[in-house]
Amino acid sequence: MASSSRLAIADTTEAIPAISTADLHKHYGGLEVLKGIDFHANDGEVVAILGASGSGKSTFLRCLNLLELPSAGRLHIFGEEVKLRPGDANLRIADRKQIDRLRTQVAMVFQNFCLWSHMSVLDNLMEAPVHVQRRGRAEVRDEAETVLKRVGLLERANAYPAQLSGGQQQRAAIARALVMKPRVLLFDEPTSALDPELVGEVLKVMRDLAAEGRTMLIVTHEMAFARDVSSRILFLEKGRIEAEGSPQQLFGGGVNERFDQFISRFSQG
Amino acid sequence: MNLGIIELLGFGSQGWGGPLLKAAGVTLAAASCGFFLGSLLGICGASLKLARAGVLRTIGHFYTTVFRGVPEILVVYLFYFGGSVVLTNAMNSGGFPGFYSLPAFAIGVIAVGVVSGAYQTEAFRSAFLRLDRGQIEAGTACGMSKLLLLRRIIAPQTLRVALPALGNIWQSVLKETSLLSVIGLTELLRQAGTAAGSTRQPLLFYGAAAVMFLIIGRITGLILTRMENHLAKPWRR
């Protein structure tokens, strides 16, 4: 009896997804960008979100840490419902403190890096942990240096963002997200603004993160990366989930016609 | 009458060096206080003009339109003489007869502050509009509250962008404090005028005042340039 009840507890904790959305809608004026997305990502999953431009994939990702406010629907983060209240066009944040707390748990990496240009790399890393999470400076500094070492930027800790290459900036931005010790990492086209020869160094860091079992949601156009690294593909088209499945299934072809068309357009360049 | 230039500008009993230096101090003090007040008003004005509510934007727009559109000397007259009339009427009706005038220095600072605040509003506003939205968004995404964002990200970056424009405004504030001579404030121009009148040496004293304005402007300008360079350091490659 005892062992079976323990098993039941283990099952319920495992069943709580890292992030889940129910019937998530988003429209800008008359334009409906998301038409009801039901989605969940389990802890440890790496989900690649694919789709043509205008499919709503970036908007969807940005809704997950409320950079975009959905127009309707529900959002849970580790089982906790994000408190939203009705507004004019979109839902509104009902509890800013809750959102700010959850945002440190669901960290975002942007296409344009968005490092704070008036701060050194190290200060960029320490900013949120010290001022938002209110952790001790010494501990945060140690953590920041460990993370910088990991992304290969320790010797550039005192450089300013303008002094770094695009690839270095994006690695610093990933480090900035990691220092907050988030439980989920969101990547919004992390390599799209990079020169082709700098893409590899960023993807390598992301590969390492995926390999250590981190929960990651990645909007990307790097098909090979999505196929090799992700545990699940989410294919959006016109604001809906058109196809979903393991990379082996989907990239094998024949599962979804539109996905196959999308991929073939890509391989043609 | 037959004193040489050295004696006239010196610090002896016949010399005007002491009063002129003191007057230069008054000029610098009035300009600094006025500029500082203007910065506070400029930040408020910029917040109004950037506000979401239309009423607030209208108030901000009204402020900058009026005080950039009216000659500064008129603002000085209006605040000083207008204010004194209001004060006198109030005192008289309260049972205290006579004429009351407002303190020239304080009113001068307010006048300079209100006018430079209108210009600083534009400097702060356009600096804010030039900020990289992505960096503000990155702060939001890290869970920063609005106040924290303002303090840690928006304010330092806005200041850096606004500083060159603020430097120009400072230089004109410095010159425009000479208008306060019309309300009896013994600043550099008025003191030079007094000296010129009583020695019949206008060329010498107005020339000396001009040189002192230039020196003050140059030194403060250098300080501002250093600040500018310091704040621009992160953007240099």
Per-residue pLDDT of A124-135, as tens digits, reads: 999 999 999 999
**Is B116 a domain residue?**
yes
Interface of A with B (CB under 8 A): 65, 67, 96, 99-104, 107-108, 110, 112, 114-120, 127-128, 131-133, 160-163, 173, 176, 180
Question: What is the pLDDT, as a whole number, of residue A8?
Answer: 44
On whether any CB of chain A is under 8 Å from the CB of B147, the answer is no
- How far apart, in whole angstroms, are the C-alpha atoms of residue B19 and residue B24? 9
**Is B40 a domain residue?**
yes
**Helix boundaries (H) for chain A:** 2-15, 57-64, 96-105, 121-131, 137-150, 166-179, 196-211, 223-229, 247-252, 257-268
Q: Which residue of A has its CA nearest to B133?
A: A114
Question: What is the pLDDT, as a whole number, of residue B99?
Answer: 84
User: Are B142 and A102 within 8 A, CB to CB?
Assistant: no
- How far apart, in whole angstroms, are the C-alpha atoms of residue A115 and residue A169? 7
Residue B94 has pLDDT above 90, yes or no: no
Cα-based distances in Å from A115 to A69, A87, A135, B13: 23, 31, 21, 63
- How far apart, in whole angstroms, are the C-alpha atoms of residue A192 and residue A236? 18
Residue A4 has pLDDT above 80, yes or no: no
Most distant CA pair in chain A: distance in Å?
A: 63
- How far apart, in whole angstroms, are the C-alpha atoms of residue B121 and residue B40? 9
Per CB-CB distance under 8 Å, the chain A contacts of B233 are: 160
| A58, A66, A117, A186: best to mutate for the B interface, most B CBs within 10 A | A117
Per-residue pLDDT of A229-250, as tens digits, reads: 999 999 999 999 999 999 999 9
**Is B233 a domain residue?**
no
Over residues A83-94, mean pLDDT: 89
Question: What is the pLDDT, as a whole number, of residue A29?
Answer: 84
- At position B174, the amino acid (one-letter code) is L
Which of A213-222, A226-235, B4-13 has the least mean pLDDT? B4-13
**C-alpha dihedral sign at A135, A136, A137, A140:** negative
Task: Find the radius of gyration of the CA atoms of chain B.
Answer: 22
- How far apart, in whole angstroms, are the C-alpha atoms of residue B6 and residue B15? 8
User: Which single residue is written with the structure tokens 């404030």?
Assistant: B185
What is the pTM for the complete model shown?
A: 0.85
Mean pLDDT of chain B: 91
CA nearest to B180, candidates B27, B19, B66? B27
Q: How many domains does chain B have?
A: 1
Mean pLDDT of chain A: 90
Question: What is the pLDDT, as a whole number, of residue B5?
Answer: 78
**Is B53 a domain residue?**
yes
Length of chain B counted residue by residue: 237
- How far apart, in whole angstroms, are the C-alpha atoms of residue A259 and residue A234? 10
Residue A150 has pLDDT above 70, yes or no: yes
Residue span of the structural domain in which B175 resides:
20-64+104-190
**Is B71 a domain residue?**
no
Tell me, rounded to whole angstroms, the distance of Cα B96 from its chain centroid.
34
Over residues A43-48, mean pLDDT: 94
Residue A12 has pLDDT above 70, yes or no: no
**Is B89 a domain residue?**
no
From A103, A133, A162, residue closest to B234, measured CB to CB = A162
- How far apart, in whole angstroms, are the C-alpha atoms of residue A233 and residue A226? 8
Per CB-CB distance under 8 Å, the chain B contacts of A173 are: 138
- How far apart, in whole angstroms, are the C-alpha atoms of residue B35 and residue B170? 7
Question: What is the pLDDT, as a whole number, of residue A115?
Answer: 96
Q: Which residue of B has its CA nearest to A103?
A: B143
Per-residue pLDDT of B196-210, as tens digits, reads: 888 888 898 899 999
Whether A56 contacts A239, CB under 8 Å: yes
Question: How many A-B residue pairs are in contact by the CB < 8 A criterion?
Answer: 76
- How far apart, in whole angstroms, are the C-alpha atoms of residue B182 and residue B164? 30
> Strand pairing partners for A27?
A32
Residue A105 has pLDDT above 80, yes or no: yes
User: Are B138 and A114 within 8 A, CB to CB?
Assistant: yes
pLDDT band at A113 (very low <50, low <70, confident <90, very high): very high
Per-residue pLDDT of B177-191, as tens digits, reads: 999 999 888 889 999
Question: What is the pLDDT, as a whole number, of residue B6?
Answer: 76
**Is B27 a domain residue?**
yes
Q: Given the DSSP bridges, would you call strands A184-188 and A106-109 parallel, antiparallel or unpaired?
A: parallel
User: Are B138 and A116 within 8 A, CB to CB?
Assistant: yes
On whether any CB of chain A is under 8 Å from the CB of B233, the answer is yes
Structure tokens at A93: 């944040």
Residue A268 has pLDDT above 70, yes or no: no
Structure tokens at B23: 């007057």
On whether any CB of chain A is under 8 Å from the CB of B142, the answer is yes
Per-residue pLDDT of B117-138, as tens digits, reads: 999 999 999 999 999 999 999 9
- How far apart, in whole angstroms, are the C-alpha atoms of residue B17 and residue B162? 37
Question: What is the pLDDT, as a whole number, of residue A14?
Answer: 56
- Please report, for the domain that includes residue B181, its CATH number: 1.10.3720.10
Over residues A65-78, mean pLDDT: 93
**Is B111 a domain residue?**
yes
